[in-house]
Chains A and B, each alone.
Chain A
Amino acid sequence: MSLPPSLGNRQAGAIDPKLLEILVCPLTKTTLEWRSDRQELISRSARLAYPVRDGIPIMLPDEARSLGDDE
């Protein structure tokens, strides 16, 4: 997982890169992909996108978006 350098800053919508290193999908415990354009953490194995709001990842399946067929 590579992160753009801007993520190290404490700006709105940024996420701590050290936090991203330790996060996994709570359902499948597999690694996540960071999608900066949508501010989401993608779990391919669970087909879910976890939102990141104000820099806080919301790692709850109930709050996650289901991935579409083309994603």
Chain B
Amino acid sequence: MAERPSASFGFRDVALDEKQGMVDEVFHKVARRYDLMNDLMSAGLHRLWKDALVSRLAPPRSGRRPYQVVDVAGGTGDVAFRIVDRSNGHARVTVADINGSMLQVGRERAEARRIDGVTFVEANAEDLPFESGRFDAYTIAFGIRNVPRIDVALSEAYRVLKPGGRFLCLEFSAVDAPIADKVYEAYSMRVIPAMGRVVARDEDSYRYLVESIRRFPNQERFKAMIETAGFSRVGYTNLTLGVAALHVGVKI
């Protein structure tokens, strides 16, 4: 067989053009229970991690123009609502997600909570439908590991940011503490798929989530990828011993 570009899908390598469809299917299945499952899987920690991202972003509460943020892969609106809230309504967040089911959940929530300033677009992180230099900040929380070509998504992030615009990425990462890494491994490989079976009635989707976390580049390797995309002042902060990491960079 001729060599085809491949991407990781959990522990399996799949053809690059197949990965997106497989990821789509996982998120169509889990959309309604996604945030609930995040609560259970991370024992509520994902809320603290998202708060850490929004605190680091520190969106301004006033200014001549609205503070423009694009939140990629944020379909259910969880991060977008926090940003609007923290900015006292001064931030306008465009949520881009490739998955229609996740966006549907987000839009229903925005309407139910009467949140203004958040708009939803179905789009691919590798081919964003936005003009260059439009946004003050690009955020992505627990989304980038699901993108088939991470380097392409990072280049798009760079493109849509204004000069001075900031990139903030929250993602599961590598636990680097002894003992804790073993405990985390046992938890993630056994407990999370079991929870997925009981709560979302979908063990396979959650097994994919766990495996994709373990395949994702560690803190230093991901930092190097962000620098390669053109960002300056790239750094990261470990959260909860490195279970998650917040990477940041600036477009100069």
Contact = CB atoms under 8 A, between A and B. Distances in A.
Interface of A: 16, 18-19, 22-27, 29, 54-61, 63
B184 interface: no
Contact of B123 (A16, A26, A54, A55): A26
Interface in B122-176: 122-124, 127-132, 134
A18 B132 CA distance: 16
Q: Which 3 A-B pairs have the closest CB atoms?
A: A59-B129, A26-B127, A26-B129
B100 A56 contact: yes
B176 to A, nearest CB: 38
A59 B123 contact: yes
A22 B130 contact: yes
Contacts of B104: 54, 56
A58 B13 CA distance: 28
Nearest to B68: A22
B42 to A, nearest CB: 28
Contact of A58 (B100, B107, B132): B100
B76 to A, nearest CB: 14
Given A54-B107, A60-B124, A29 B131 contact: yes
A25 B128 CA distance: 8
Contacts, number: 52
Interface residues of B, number: 20
Contacts of B100: 56, 58
A25 to B, nearest CB: 7
A65 to B, nearest CB: 15
B209 to A, nearest CB: 23
Main secondary structure on chain B at its contact with chain A?
mixed
A22 B66 CA distance: 14
A37 B120 CA distance: 21
A58 B99 CA distance: 10
A59 B122 CA distance: 6
Contacts of A22: 94, 130-131, 134
B7 to A, nearest CB: 17
B226 interface: no
A19 to B, nearest CB: 5
B121 A56 contact: yes
B122 A58 contact: yes
A26 B122 contact: no
Nearest to A27: B127
B134 A60 contact: no
A56 B129 contact: no
Contact of B130 (A23, A54, A58, A63): A23
Contacts of A63: 122
B123 A24 contact: no
B245 interface: no
B103 interface: yes
